[in-house]
Amino acid sequence: MSTGRFDVLVVGSGPAGSFAALTLARQGARVALLDKTSFPRDKACGDLVGPRGLQLLVDAGLSISGGLNVDDLVVVGPTGRRVRLPSATGHTYPGHGTTVTRAAFDAFLQEAAIEAGAIPFIGRADRPLEAEGQLDGYRTGTGDELRADFVIGADGATSHVATTAGLVEADKVLWGFAVRAYLNQSVELPVIALWEQRRWHAFPGYGWIFPAANGGANVGLGIATRSKRSEGTGAARMLPAFLDHLRVLGLIDGAAPEPSRRLGGWLKMGMIGTTPARGKTLLVGDAAGLVNPLQGEGIAQAMGSGMAAAEAILRAPGHPADLYRAALADAHLPYHRIAAVAHATLVGRPIAVATVGRALTLPGAGRALAGGWAIFWNELLDGAPASRARTVATAATSLGERLTVRSRSARWFSDSLGSSR
């Protein structure tokens, strides 16, 4: 058993936690980086690091090897119609993403944080420790007692830190569950597939098949459940039927064997229902609900929020929560508010979801909207160069703002982030 006092305790060393620890340690902070397991370890994910995530790596002076660059993305509608969403270079991000296994990527980031000076610990953050009425650290399952001036919760969607700090309103959270497998299958471009389990009855989520860095394919299915986590088993149960659908579409080889291993995980989306910071406790990445509610991306948001939380502690140690909440508002509003409202409105309405999916993939509409759709959907408007696509994305954002400005979600964001944007 060891007992230590640190400047910051980071619970969870995925992309969010490791980026927070890296930023802090480089500035001389004494950081404890706690994770429940040793690395490398696997995680259910599409394994795609988007343009903003790649730029964050560049800005941090990091370069990941062994990845596969991918650019355009194909969306397949419920009827099989296809729209190619173009990938374009922005002022603040490259014109491509990279696929790399989470086992390799997360271990790379954790090692970078440790090399910068973060001190690693293995164990679960079991019992919260308090001082003067505030969270002061955790006693771990292995007996370590880790106390710190600040605690960063980077422990995933079902964050123990968020729960013990009283930062979650369970009935408001937008939950999702995703299951992923690997296939021995060659894939040229990443594909998002909107699926109707029966005609005009859309699956409440989407599936994907992405090229993998090792030459195979990452295939998965994600389901949105709003606050009803009991419905998350639907993704795992329906994966075989979804794979059959991909075979019918010709997206995977009909002779390809069924995947032998599947891995699932929870998603918490759109920030709704989770206060990202209070007092000396800050939540980052999935723990803060920083997953795109429309397409499930979370790696770039994780790294960006980890860095923002670290910078808030370094710049304003007397009131980091205020600075961090303002940083999240600046980075993610109004997009998350618009996306969260759209997500919550559509989930549970299979005909409405089918209608939207069919409309967006109509030949004329798809071609006209593809560029703007790619910018808006991937939260890339800030930094997008002037173009017709940017104009479309700007118009979609302006319309979304007008439609959501008086919503309950808008009030929630105003209360939780201190922003009226």
Choose the final residue of a domain: 211, 239, 268: 268
Q: How far is CA 331 from CA 238, 297, 417, in A?
A: 35, 15, 12
Note whether 22 and 136 are same-domain residues.
yes
Q: Give the pLDDT confidence score for residue 420 in this predicted structure.
A: 44
Q: Is 395 contained in some domain?
A: no
- Averaged pLDDT for residues 139-148: 94
How many separate domains does the chain show? 2
Q: Map tokens 């690997």 to a residue.
A: 182
Q: Is 394 contained in some domain?
A: no
Note whether 165 and 189 are same-domain residues.
no
11-15, 233-237, 296-300: which has the minimum mean pLDDT? 233-237
Note whether 219 and 157 are same-domain residues.
no
Choose the final residue of a domain: 316, 335, 354: 335
Give residue 324's identity as a one-letter amino acid code: Y
Note whether 323 and 304 are same-domain residues.
yes
When pLDDT is cut at 50, 70 and 90, the band that residue 1 belongs to is low
C-alpha 22, offset from chain centre: 19
| 414 vs 96, higher pLDDT | 96
Q: Give the pLDDT confidence score for residue 100 in this predicted structure.
A: 96
pLDDT tens sequence across 346-357:
999 999 999 999
Is the pLDDT reported for residue 179 higher than 70?
yes
Helix H, strand E, coil C: the string for the chain is CCEEEEEEEEECCCHHHHHHHHHHHHCCCCEEEEECCCCCCCCCCCCEECHHHHHHHHHCCCCCCCCEEECCEEEECCCCCEEEECCCCCCCCCCCEEECCHHHHHHHHHHHHHHHCCEEEECCEEEEEEECCEEEEEEECCCCEEEEEEEEECCCCCCHHHHHCCCECHHHCEEEEEEEEEECCCCCCCEEECCEEECCEECCEEEEEEECCCCCEEEEEEEEEECCHHHHHHHHHHHHHHHHHHHHCCCCCCCCCCCCCEEEEEEEECCCCECCEECCEEECHHHHCCCCCCCCCCHHHHHHHHHHHHHHHHHCCCCHHHHHHHHHHHHHCCHHHHHHHHHHHHCCCHHHHHHHHHHHCCHHHHHHHHHHHHHHHCCCCCCCCCCHHHHHHHHHHHHHHHHHCCCHHHHHHHHHHCCCC
- Contact present, 33 and 19 (Cβ < 8 Å): no
Note whether 212 and 253 are same-domain residues.
yes
Global pTM reads: 0.96
Token pair, residue 25, equals 């340690």
Note whether 177 and 166 are same-domain residues.
no
Note whether 101 and 10 are same-domain residues.
yes
Side-chain-side CA neighbours of 352 within 13 Å: the count stands at 9
- Averaged pLDDT for residues 338-346: 93
Q: Give the pLDDT confidence score for residue 414 in this predicted structure.
A: 87
Per DSSP bridges, beta strands 281-283 and 145-153 are: parallel
Q: Is 404 contained in some domain?
A: no
Task: Report the distance separating Cα 67 and Cα 52, nearest Å.
Answer: 16
Per DSSP bridges, beta strands 73-76 and 31-35 are: unpaired
Choose the final residue of a domain: 248, 268, 288: 268
Is the pLDDT reported for residue 421 higher than 50?
no
CATH number of the structural domain spanning residue 122? 3.50.50.60
- Contact present, 295 and 377 (Cβ < 8 Å): yes
Token pair, residue 418, equals 């201190």
- Averaged pLDDT for residues 35-51: 96
- Averaged pLDDT for residues 374-384: 96
Note whether 18 and 135 are same-domain residues.
yes
- Averaged pLDDT for residues 371-388: 96
Side-chain-side CA neighbours of 359 within 13 Å: the count stands at 7
Task: Report the distance separating Cα 224 and Cα 357, nearest Å.
Answer: 15
Is the pLDDT reported for residue 383 higher than 50?
yes
Q: Give the pLDDT confidence score for residue 415 in this predicted structure.
A: 86
* Full residue range of the structural domain in which residue 182 is found: 173-268
Note whether 60 and 193 are same-domain residues.
no
- Averaged pLDDT for residues 125-129: 95
CATH number of the structural domain spanning residue 181? 3.30.9.10
Is the pLDDT reported for residue 418 higher than 80?
no
C-alpha 190, offset from chain centre: 17
Q: Is 371 contained in some domain?
A: no
Q: Is 291 contained in some domain?
A: yes
Is the pLDDT reported for residue 281 higher than 80?
yes
Note whether 260 and 196 are same-domain residues.
yes
Q: Is 343 contained in some domain?
A: no
Q: Is 387 contained in some domain?
A: no
Note whether 187 and 45 are same-domain residues.
no
Q: Is 356 contained in some domain?
A: no
pLDDT tens sequence across 53-111:
999 999 999 999 889 999 999 999 999 999 999 999 999 999 999 999 999 999 999 99
Note whether 141 and 200 are same-domain residues.
no
| 109 vs 261, higher pLDDT | 109
What average pLDDT does the chain have? 94
